[in-house]
């Protein structure tokens, strides 16, 4: 495939994301069973208040998810997911100056979210559900393709790689080809290595160490490791005690060239981004 040099400007609906610098994406799970904050923001007013706080703290994007993708998560129907996601997308679009990302693999949710004002499709399944490629293409929005083998219910059943970084890169390159075939140009694609998805601790650590190799694909990288089990396993910390490990990885991801950091703890991560930026911009 032909590699594409990353553009610094990514149109996201009625807003533009300048990828010349690193952005923080705030996580807004409107599900009752998210691994970290399940149920806390499933009510519209609570979700909006949390989104407002994340934007005030510096988030450029809010990632709205209506289907939990934690290991062993139950599947939800397209209608149930849409009923969770659509009202908050509509409200965020109306009330906040922020790019709305929708964390979904469901074609109907992609189409309706785009109609309601979403600016980015973030799909952990890389548009592999039936109809997802065509739905994403029809929206005209940029898409984030993530590496995952299998489904959330079975992805951690003894994952195996001969070379995890190369195999992740090959997978993402193939999905970019499939996107191109339906009219989604490489210029509209963001790539996510998929930390914690179909990978054990050593896979995650090795992939993180060698993340720079993914820049050869020519597209901006999104990194999401906030509160994930790789931090818990490496540091022996429960979910509520993974902030410091997550901030260390956020700093490392930024230094390794990630352009979007997907996090729960926006204010703390913004301090990391601003501090690194201050140092790198000094004479």
pLDDT of residue 1: 36
Neighbouring C-alpha atoms within 13 Å toward the C-beta of 115:
12
Domains delineated in the chain: 19-273 (3.20.20.20)
- Residue reference for tokens 């083998």: 149
Both tokens of 33, joined, read 């069973």
Q: What is the pLDDT of residues 90-116, one digit of tens each?
A: 999 999 999 999 999 999 999 999 999
Of all residues in the chain, what percent carry a pLDDT higher than 70?
90
What residues contact residue 188 under an 8 Å CB cut-off, 6+ apart?
10, 141, 142, 143
> Among residues 111, 125, 175, 228, which one is catalytic?
228
Of all residues in the chain, what percent carry a pLDDT higher than 90?
83
Is-catalytic flag, 262? Answer: yes
Lowest mean pLDDT among 1-5, 39-43, 200-204: 1-5
Is-catalytic flag, 49? Answer: no
* Number of neighbouring beta carbons within 10 Å of residue 164: 22
Q: What is the pLDDT of residues 33-68, one digit of tens each?
A: 544 554 455 588 889 999 999 999 999 999 999 988
Give strand pairing partners of 100. Answer: 62
Taking a C-beta distance cutoff of 8 angstroms, is the pair 107, 132 a contact?
yes
pLDDT at 172 over 50: yes
Q: What is the pLDDT of residues 144-157, one digit of tens each?
A: 999 998 776 666 66
pTM of the model: 0.92
């Amino acid at each position: 495939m032909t590699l594409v040099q990353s553009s610094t400007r990514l149109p996201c609906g009625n807003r533009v994301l300048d990828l010349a610098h690193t952005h923080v994406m705030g996580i807004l799970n409107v599900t009752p069973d998210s691994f970290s904050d399940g149920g806390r923001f499933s009510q519209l007013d609570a979700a909006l208040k949390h989104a407002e706080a994340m934007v005030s703290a510096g988030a450029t994007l809010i990632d709205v998810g209506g289907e939990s993708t934690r290991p062993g998560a139950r599947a939800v129907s397209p209608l149930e997911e849409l009923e969770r996601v659509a009202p908050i997308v509509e409200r965020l679009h109306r009330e906040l100056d922020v790019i709305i990302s929708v964390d979904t693999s469901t074609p109907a949710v992609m189409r309706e979210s785009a109609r309601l004002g979403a600016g980015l499709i973030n799909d952990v399944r890389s548009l592999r559900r039936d109809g997802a490629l065509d739905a994403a293409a029809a929206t005209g929005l940029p898409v984030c393709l993530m590496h995952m083998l299998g489904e959330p219910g079975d992805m951690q059943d003894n994952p195996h790689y001969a070379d995890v970084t190369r195999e992740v890169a090959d997978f993402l390159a193939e999905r970019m080809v499939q996107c191109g075939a339906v009219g989604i140009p490489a210029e509209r694609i963001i790539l996510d290595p998929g930390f914690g998805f179909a990978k054990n601790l050593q896979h995650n650590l090795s992939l993180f160490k060698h993340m720079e190799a993914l820049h050869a694909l020519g597209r901006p990288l999104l990194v999401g490791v906030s509160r994930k089990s790789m931090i818990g396993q490496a540091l022996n910390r429960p979910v509520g005690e993974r902030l410091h490990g997550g901030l260390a990885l956020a700093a490392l991801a930024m230094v390794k060239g990630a352009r979007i950091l997907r996090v729960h703890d926006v204010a703390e991560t913004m301090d990391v981004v601003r501090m690194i930026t201050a140092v790198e911009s000094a004479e």
